[in-house]
Amino acid sequence: MTRRSILAPAVAALVPFAAAPMQPSAATAAEMAVVLPFEIILEDTLEGIPMVRPEEKKRLEMMTAETVAQLSGPGGYVLADPTPLAKEIDDKSPFFKCNGCEADVAKKLGAEIAVTGLVQKGSASAANISIAMRSVATGELVRTAGITVLENSDEGWLRGVRSLIKNRLLPQEKKP
């Protein structure tokens, strides 16, 4: 399995932005967004090349699905289906390395916002989770958020994503 195919089920371009949230832009119910698959960065291990474990791959998929569910909730965004561009998404990933190319993918899907997520796993118990929202029109990041999770479990990672979306990504008027 290639490194690209390992990273494809995940996504983002944001860890440097996790510490300082940007000013939220007012989102309207008419804004269309696309949530791209979460990606992961694993720190080097003594065993050599770090590999994504099956449970981590499952968590990345769960986090992507949870982001879709949270952002499409009442008062949220209209979400575009990324499935038609699955091959292109796989080819362009990892998005955290492509300098904003996720906006090109989102534009092809008719979205105004590209949403990417990234997990940086530096130890067995700690993970930094980041989510970024990039404007298709300007290519600029319009909203970013990050959190450190100290619970290496499905629920721990999902709790982190829910917290980021509820408390940092949705404008006040959109919070459930």
Of 137, 132, 139, whose CA–CA distance to 169 is shortest? 132
For 17, which DSSP code? G
DSSP string spanning 94-122? -GGGTTSTHHHHHHHTT-SEEEEEEEEE-
Cα 75 to Cα 158: distance, rounded to the nearest angstrom:
21
Task: For residue range 137-156, list pLDDT tens digits in order.
Answer: 999 999 999 999 999 899 99
Cα 152 to Cα 78: distance, rounded to the nearest angstrom:
31
Give the range of the structural domain holding residue 159, as residue numbers without chain letter: 3-44+51-173
pLDDT at residue 64 tops 80? yes
Cα 3 to Cα 40: distance, rounded to the nearest angstrom:
11
Beta bridge partners of 60: none
Q: Which CATH number covers residue 162?
A: 3.40.50.10070
Mean pLDDT of the chain: 81
Task: For residue range 93-117, list pLDDT tens digits in order.
Answer: 999 888 899 999 999 999 999 999 9
Burial class (CB in 10 A: 0-12, 13-18, 19+), 119: buried
Beta strands per DSSP E along the chain: 32-35, 39-42, 78-79, 113-121, 127-135, 141-149
Total domain count, the chain: 1
